Chains A and B, each alone.
Chain A
Amino acid sequence: EAGVAQSPRYKIIEKRQSVAFWCNPISGHATLYWYQQILGQGPKLLIQFQNNGVVDDSQLPKDRFSAERLKGVDSTLKIQPAKLEDSAVYLCASSPHRTRNTEAFFGQGTRLTVV
């Protein structure tokens, strides 16, 4: 089966600019996650969707970050305005809607550099 698709793979922007990332999860997966991974650290959850509803966005900096998942399929993550500390890899993952023992499938990520 096709994996989680993310685009773009790389993005360089200046601080205070805006940027958007796109994710297409595995077909049929109801749960979608966005993670931020700063160099040398493990991924940190930003937001989790169940279909098109938000389950957890407690670690999303809502003053500058936003995410949506229209129609419960594709998702976009936006940063506006970007700061230097937003430089990181942004990972999208999806899980099937099962009640037990769900593993998450990750995309390759988008590497963002803010200069």
Chain B
Amino acid sequence: DAKTTQPPSMDCAEGRAANLPCNHSTISGNEYVYWYRQIHSQGPQYIIHGLKNNETNEMASLIITEDRKSSTLILPHATLRDTAVYYCIVRVDSLVKQLTFGKGTKLSVIP
């Protein structure tokens, strides 16, 4: 699976949009971009995933650049409960391919 690079930490003011970047310059054509988050003392939680088109769900939006070498997870109106470690993962869509987690980005939402 392709390697990802994320900033170790970010701050965001409560109510503002949180934009979390991820670089995956070696991504292959059949690899998806997944985002998970892990709130303190909990297991990781799935947020969103995409291949090449932008995606949106009730939690977040995922913007993937045209060359697919980077992506941005957007939390449109961050709340204190969004404080967590956010993991960007690329993987082939296959039953036998596990999620490989890096260190992620620690997002702190500030009142």
Contacts and interface: CB of A to CB of B under 8 A. Distances in A.
A54 B93 CA distance: 19
Among B87, B93, B95, find the residue whose CB has the most chain A CB atoms closer than 10 A: B95
Overall SS of chain B's interface: loop
A7 interface: no
Contacts, number: 57
B96 A42 contact: no
Contacts of A55: 95-96
B103 A104 contact: no
A4 B42 CA distance: 12
B46 A103 contact: yes
Contact of A42 (B42, B98, B102): B102
B93 A101 contact: yes
B43 A101 contact: no
A56 B41 CA distance: 26
Given A41-B103, A101-B93, A107 B43 contact: yes
A67 interface: no
A91 B104 CA distance: 17
A-B pairs with the 6 shortest C-beta distances? A106-B43, A42-B101, A103-B46, A45-B98, A43-B101, A106-B44
